[in-house]
Homo-oligomer: A and B are copies of this chain.
Amino acid sequence: MNIAVRSDETNLIDTNGLSRSELMAILERARFYEDQNGLVPPRYLGRFVANLFFEPSTRTRFSFEVAEKRLGLEVLNVSEDTSSTVKGETLADTLKTLAAIGVEVAVIRHSQSGIAEEMAKQNNGVRLVNAGDGHNAHPTQALLDLYTLHKHFGDLNGLRVAIIGDLRHSRVARSNLWSLTTMGAEVVFSGPETMRAPDLEEHAPYLPIDEAIAQADAVMMLRVQLERHREQLFTTAEAYHQHYGLTLERFARMQDHAVILHPGPVNRDVELADELVEHPRSKVFEQMKNGVWVRMAVLERVLEGGKRG
């Protein structure tokens, strides 16, 4: 895991290159957009962004698309089925094509870890926002989580965040680790033994789940790829819930002020007890709402980036 990758001003590849002041600047702009309820003059009229989602996603693509349209951007959408990738064109050439036809920003979701960084290094003429690459990074998710926590707790220094679940395959865990620790929060990990991630445990401790939950100010449950792991790793979704989920019993042992996060979509009664998804102390749908403000801030940052460079 290369943690030296920077999200320079014209790309957002991961959170690990963002300084505390850069993170704060994004949170402030997101707050500005939330204060306006997104109803801002469409400042980027006649400028083009392309959403390249090579993995299925409604939630993240729609969140980006709302953010883009609120900024006045013209939006092109492609999903894998209809893309030239079926003709063997490389992603790099697709990006050069987009640049040639006038697209300024590409938002990319792709199953291959590291592809967003690889594309950014090639400088294919279009600015990039990583919307999730394999197990590697999902920076706008981490930023909206950060925004949600910052709005709730204020100063994040010393805040204890437990990230629980399939660590090995989680781009959400990785990107959150970088941004949370940069802001001074204390991250701990938990989840199934078979899903531990040695690379992450170099940066934050792994604890038994009940210990992790008991001491946390915020419990972030990761989505389980049920369709991938059910057979191999545990017998049933119910068994996962009992062993590694936020059950009502575990929720009762959380600190009274502690909140619940989940990147969505939730497998109800797997990662979270059904009753907790919309509990007053759950941030699940507020996270989604905040995603629009954060993505507006990120798109603005990428579009304005490099002007003073």
Contact = CB atoms under 8 A, between A and B. Distances in A.
A101 interface: yes
Given A96-B285, A100-B289, A285-B97, A62 B78 contact: yes
Interface residues of A, number: 55
Given A53-B82, A87-B227, A88-B227, A58 B285 contact: no
A231 interface: no
The number of times this chain is found in the oligomer is: 3
A41 to B, nearest CB: 10
Contacts of A267: 88
Interface string A73-101: 01011110111111111100110111111
A140 B148 CA distance: 40
Given A39-B46, A66-B76, A82 B100 contact: no
A208 interface: no
A26 interface: no
Given A56-B87, A227-B87, A50 B78 contact: no
A103 B227 contact: no
A266 B92 CA distance: 12
Nearest to A48: B66
A240 to B, nearest CB: 14
Given A56-B87, A58-B82, A101 B46 contact: no
Contact of A82 (B57, B88, B94, B286): B57
Given A100-B285, A101-B288, A267-B88, A94 B58 contact: yes
A149 to B, nearest CB: 17
A38 interface: yes
15 contacts: A46-B70, A53-B82, A56-B86, A58-B78, A58-B82, A61-B82, A62-B101, A65-B76, A69-B74, A84-B265, A87-B265, A89-B265, A90-B268, A97-B264, A99-B285
